[in-house]
Copies of this chain bind each other. A is one copy, B any other.
């Protein structure tokens, strides 16, 4: 089965913040981001059908941004939590590259682009 993904249709997106300070390899980063994206997608499908459908039918935008420390990730976690946006904090078992229990990334959404931009709009692409 083939899927073509277009860019965000200015409506809903899913954002993943990745800890760049961990110096993970690109395959490791990809797997961690996939964990976050799958959790966010499955959660929305069950608990927030409106957001899921809006996101799923409009390109399923996934935006990968960088933070440079656990402290920075945690600040965004607190802000996102208080805004009501769904978050998925990913902690790795750490059998490769990093110590067990290390938080590697955090997914946010899917949520309206405008809401997410209020929180993560200043962050750079990974």
Contacts and interface: CB of A to CB of B under 8 A. Distances in A.
Interface of A is mostly: mixed
Contacts of A59: 93
Interface residues of A, number: 47
Assembly of this chain: how many copies? 2
A110 to B, nearest CB: 10
Contact of A88 (B1, B6, B64, B125): B1
A2 B91 contact: yes
A86 to B, nearest CB: 7
A123 B24 CA distance: 20
A37 B37 contact: yes
Contacts of A126: 25-27, 30
Contacts of A16: 30, 34
A1 B89 contact: yes
